[in-house]
A = this chain, B = another copy of it.
Amino acid sequence: MHTRRSKPPTIPQDINIDVLEDTLSFYIRTINIAVSRDLDERLEGLDVAKGTGKITTLLLVDDYPGIRPSVIAHLIMRDRSAMGRLIDQMEDHGLIRREISPEDSRAQELYITEAGTALAVKIREIVPKQSRDFFSFIPEDEQRLVTDILRRAYRRIVGLHE
């Protein structure tokens, strides 16, 4: 049986979470848990569930053939060792493949496979829809507002132009 999210009968409605009430990082961290769980459910069985990196990797490799692992690692905020394991997994699943760069034999280039392309098609449908659905109780204009601000935050954090 799965005991999680078994809401106790009485959650005091007037509860106040102290200084966290006004703390953006608290909401980011907490909502992250809920939205990630929901996304995992929607991706069940799709070789790309769990963790934040696989979806981004798949789409980037599809869009930028030959992209380097270290570039993706930077964009998904992982180190090279975590990135390597992630690529191992995706290679095992036949979604992408590595080649050694002809220009610099230390470096690798990543390419998508047919299976990867097919999965990317599904992903492009599921992922944005999951986000819209999950946050559907937020009015659309507010959703867009938050997204715009957080996009800029993200780009700032990883050092992309805004």
How many copies are assembled?
2
Q: In the complex, which residues of chain B have a beta carbon less than 8 angstroms from the beta carbon of A59?
A: 17-20
Q: In the complex, which residues of chain B have a beta carbon less than 8 angstroms from the beta carbon of A22?
A: 128, 147
Number of interface residues of A (CB under 8 A): 81
Q: In the complex, which residues of chain B have a beta carbon less than 8 angstroms from the beta carbon of A32?
A: 28-29, 32
Interface residues as binary, A17-31 with B (CB distance below 8 Å gives 1, 0 otherwise): 111111111111111
With A79-B5, A145-B145 in contact, is A127–B20 under 8 Å at CB? yes
What's the dominant secondary structure at chain A's contact region?
Answer: helix
From B5, B18, B39, B142, give the contact of A25 (CB < 8 A).
B39
Tell whether, in the assembled complex, residue B137 and residue A153 are in contact, meaning their CB atoms are under 8 Å apart. yes
Q: In the complex, which residues of chain B have a beta carbon less than 8 angstroms from the beta carbon of A33?
A: 52, 77
